[in-house]
């Protein structure tokens, strides 16, 4: 018997023993070390077929031992063995372990983090080892997937989504630990980790409701990020542009969430006070509400009045150098919520209605934009456009509906939908009117029956995708999505809002491949949603202060802010938001008059 055959026999024997005595740690431990020694000793000499065996069989034993150590809470030792596994096994194993310890204490999480940092390469190299970056990418992308949902009541759904945002934030915590100083390029790696962690935008849109419950995911995320970012900003090295841009954005968000937290705190006090009749309320309780109100207003004004660096406007221009026609895409996963706050279970009809509503919202946006900007379109052309759009949407719907009836009937409609006629017409319209829509799709998520997946796609034009975007409102796609978000899509059920749990915007090429993130769209969408909301909340708080006889001295400044052409805030408001603004103002004025009329006794 040759030497290598004997070693191969030994390996199989080891696996057999480990299997037979799965509870015997000494056995597995012995096996794992034999594997390591054999690999080390025979690295050079072994032949291909035998190498294969040493790898697969050896991996099985090492895997077993790693899991054993993990189950005994020796997370710090896992890296030594896991790093010897084949790349994909190592990544799978770490992802598995890190997901299992997601809710664990910082101490335990840090042990796994250190173990991975110390024994694995940071970036994927040529040495066929699993890298830290690959593990993190997998974790992040898995955390953003729609989770399979099983709900008994619709009220559960909202709370589930809130909790899921927390789970998503907890994954980001892996990126917020300090790497050990012993590894090479530690500074570089720290910066890289942090930049990957700055993905807070979609968290912002998870909870915009005026309720006391905090958007826990976002607050948790910001608390994770605060410390490492503080360290980073204290070492004023020459950062690359995108790093300082990200730092600025983080500060913008953390300011926003301070406003959010103080507002919800005020709301909580206010709601508690409302349970008691006004006469029975103690002076302290009234005073607490007033203090909280003032704090909310002060912080919000700081955010709104920033003149030199307005909130969430990036200085980096997103200019594409591509000569090809360039497209913009927005992908969102969202939940539908009724005006009552309950979630709504979508069906095929709702999806079709939403699709059509998004579509016509885009058309109207483009048409009105061009009518006002250029005065170029004749009313005939608008008519033509609208008719064509209707037909096109209908054909699209027929394709989708007929797909459910089997492939043969759908072929017919597909043929029509993809007929050159349409693209020619659209091309003509594109040229003549710069109409920019391409594609709208809405579907129920295959995993969670309460989630829908929305895809919007349109042509990039000057000022929206090409060249600088001076309006900072995210352009067409952001306008359409914001209308959905605010529950103001014409021709869709009034007041039903889209609540986003996942959001990405991309530049994409003609054939549909994604080229890179179009950050300005998401930032613009956040501006459209968050800034009017902050202002409306201020109005609400200010009215309440007036009612209690303690008017807020800078109230009129809110009106100036909204109407000023310099801030451009008015463009971020929707019709209904402006109405709400005016109603608050009316209430404020009435209160003021009543207060003046009262005889000062």
Ligand X SMILES: *[C@@H]1O[C@H](CO)[C@@H](O)[C@H](O)[C@H]1NC(C)=O
DSSP alpha helices (H): ranges in 448-574?
475-485, 519-547, 555-563
Torsion angles phi and psi, residue 516, rounded to 5: 170, 165
Q: Which is nearer to ligand X, 105 or 182 (CB)?
A: 105
CA distance 14 to 29: 11
**Candidate ranges 51-59, 96-104, 116-124, 462-470; the one touching ligand X (CB under 6 A):** 96-104
The reply to whether 163 sits near ligand X by the rule CB under 6 A is yes
The reply to whether 387 sits near ligand X by the rule CB under 6 A is no
The reply to whether 208 sits near ligand X by the rule CB under 6 A is no
Q: 């958007």: which residue's tokens?
A: 215
DSSP-assigned letter for residue 464: B
Residues 6+ apart with CB under 8 A from 518: 318, 328, 329, 465, 505, 506, 507
The reply to whether 103 sits near ligand X by the rule CB under 6 A is yes
Question: Could you write out the DSSP letters of every residue in 334-350?
Answer: EEEE-TTS-EE---HHH
Q: Which is nearer to ligand X, 100 or 291 (CB)?
A: 100
Specify the pairing of strand 451-459 against strand 327-337.
antiparallel
Q: State the minimum distance, in angstroms, from the CB of residue 100 to ligand X.
A: 5
Q: Which is nearer to ligand X, 327 or 450 (CB)?
A: 450
The reply to whether 108 sits near ligand X by the rule CB under 6 A is no
Q: State the minimum distance, in angstroms, from the CB of residue 142 to ligand X.
A: 12
**Does residue 433 contact residue 422 with C-beta atoms inside 8 Å?**
no
The reply to whether 291 sits near ligand X by the rule CB under 6 A is no
**Candidate ranges 98-106, 242-250, 439-447, 526-534; the one touching ligand X (CB under 6 A):** 98-106
Q: Which is nearer to ligand X, 139 or 459 (CB)?
A: 139
How many residues line the site for ligand X (CB under 6 A)?
Answer: 4
Q: Report how far apart, in Å, the C-alpha atoms of 454 and of each of 140, 343, 430, 481, 498 are.
A: 21, 17, 23, 10, 10
Q: Which is nearer to ligand X, 100 or 490 (CB)?
A: 100
**Candidate ranges 95-103, 259-267, 295-303, 550-558; the one touching ligand X (CB under 6 A):** 95-103
The reply to whether 100 sits near ligand X by the rule CB under 6 A is yes
The reply to whether 102 sits near ligand X by the rule CB under 6 A is yes
Shortest CA distance to 15 belongs to which of 55, 53, 58? 58
CA distance 302 to 282: 31
Q: State the minimum distance, in angstroms, from the CB of residue 496 to ligand X.
A: 28
Q: State the minimum distance, in angstroms, from the CB of residue 163 to ligand X.
A: 6
Q: Which is nearer to ligand X, 121 or 149 (CB)?
A: 149
Q: State the minimum distance, in angstroms, from the CB of residue 140 to ligand X.
A: 16
DSSP3 helix / strand / coil % (the chain, rounded to 5): 60, 10, 30
Residue nearest to ligand X (CB): 103
With H, G, I as helix, E, B as strand and everything else as coil, classify residue 577. helix
Partners of 457 in the β-ladder: 329, 439
Q: Which is nearer to ligand X, 163 or 271 (CB)?
A: 163
Q: Which is nearer to ligand X, 136 or 466 (CB)?
A: 136
Q: Which is nearer to ligand X, 100 or 272 (CB)?
A: 100
Element containing residue 410 per DSSP (H, E): helix 407-417
How would you write 47-83 as a 3-class SS string?
Answer: CHHHHHHHHHHHHHHHHHHHHHHHHCCCHHHHHHHHC
Q: State the minimum distance, in angstroms, from the CB of residue 134 to ligand X.
A: 21
Q: Provide the mask over 119-158, with x wherever binding to ligand X is found by CB under 6 A and - wherever it is not.
A: ----------------------------------------
Which positions touch ligand X (CB under 6 A)?
A: 100, 102-103, 163
């Amino acid at each position: 018997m040759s030497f290598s055959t004997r070693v191969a026999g030994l390996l199989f024997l080891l696996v057999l023993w480990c299997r037979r005595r799965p509870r015997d740690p000494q056995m597995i431990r012995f096996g794992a070390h034999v594997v390591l020694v054999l690999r080390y000793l025979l690295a050079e000499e072994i032949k291909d077929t035998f190498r294969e065996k040493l790898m697969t069989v050896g991996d099985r034993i090492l895997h077993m031992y790693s899991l054993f150590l993990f189950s005994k809470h020796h997370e710090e030792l896992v890296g030594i063995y896991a790093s010897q596994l084949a790349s994909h096994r190592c990544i799978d194993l770490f992802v598995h372990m890190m997901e299992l310890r997601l809710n664990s204490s910082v101490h335990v999480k840090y042990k796994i983090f250190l173990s991975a940092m110390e024994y694995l390469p940071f970036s994927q190299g040529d040495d066929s080892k699993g890298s830290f970056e690959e593990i993190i990418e997998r974790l992040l992308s898995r955390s953003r997937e729609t989770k399979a949902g099983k709900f008994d009541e619709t009220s559960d759904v909202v709370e589930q989504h809130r909790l899921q945002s927390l789970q998503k934030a907890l994954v980001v915590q892996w990126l917020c630990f300090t790497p050990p100083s012993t590894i090479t390029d530690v500074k570089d790696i720290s910066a890289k980790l942090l930049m990957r962690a700055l993905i807070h935008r979609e968290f912002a849109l998870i909870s915009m409701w005026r309720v006391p419950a905090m958007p826990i995911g976002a607050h948790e995320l910001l608390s994770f990020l605060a410390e490492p970012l503080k360290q980073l900003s204290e070492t004023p090295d020459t950062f690359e542009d995108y790093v300082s841009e990200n730092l600025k954005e983080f500060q913008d968000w953390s300011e926003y969430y301070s406003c959010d937290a103080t507002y919800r705190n005020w709301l909580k006090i206010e709601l508690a006070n409302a349970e008691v009749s006004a006469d029975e309320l103690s002076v302290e309780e009234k005073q607490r509400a007033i203090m909280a109100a003032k704090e909310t207003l002060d912080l919000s004004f700081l955010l709104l009045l920033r003149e030199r660096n307005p909130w969430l406007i990036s200085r980096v221009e997103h200019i594409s150098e591509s000569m090809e026609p360039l497209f913009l895409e927005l992908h969102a996963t969202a939940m539908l919520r009724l005006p009552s706050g309950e979630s709504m279970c979508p069906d095929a009809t709702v999806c079709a209605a939403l699709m059509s509503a998004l579509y016509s919202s885009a058309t109207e946006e483009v048409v009105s934009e061009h009518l006002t900007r250029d005065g170029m379109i004749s009313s005939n052309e608008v008519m033509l456009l609208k008719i064509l759009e209707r037909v096109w949407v209908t054909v699209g719907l027929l394709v989708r509906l007929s797909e459910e009836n089997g492939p043969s009937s759908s072929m017919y409609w597909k043929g029509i939908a993809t007929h050159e006629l349409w693209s020619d017409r659209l091309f003509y319209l594109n040229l003549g009117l710069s109409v920019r829509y391409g594609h709208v799709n809405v579907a129920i998520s295959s995993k969670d029956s309460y989630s829908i997946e929305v895809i919007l796609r349109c042509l990039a034009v000057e000022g929206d995708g090409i060249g600088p975007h001076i309006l900072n409102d995210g352009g067409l796609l952001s306008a359409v999505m914001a209308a959905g978000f605010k529950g103001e899509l014409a021709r869709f059920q009034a007041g039903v809002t889209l609540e986003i749990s996942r959001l990405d915007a991309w530049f994409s090429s003609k054939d549909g491949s994604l080229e890179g993130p179009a950050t300005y769209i998401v930032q613009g969408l956040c501006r459209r949603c968050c800034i009017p909301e902050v202002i409306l909340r201020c109005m609400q708080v200010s009215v309440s202060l007036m009612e209690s006889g303690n008017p807020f001295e800078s109230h009129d400044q809110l009106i100036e802010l909204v109407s000023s052409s310099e801030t451009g805030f008015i463009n971020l408001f929707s019709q209904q938001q402006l109405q709400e603004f005016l109603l608050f103002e009316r209430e404020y004025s009435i209160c003021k008059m009543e207060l003046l009329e009262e005889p000062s006794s």
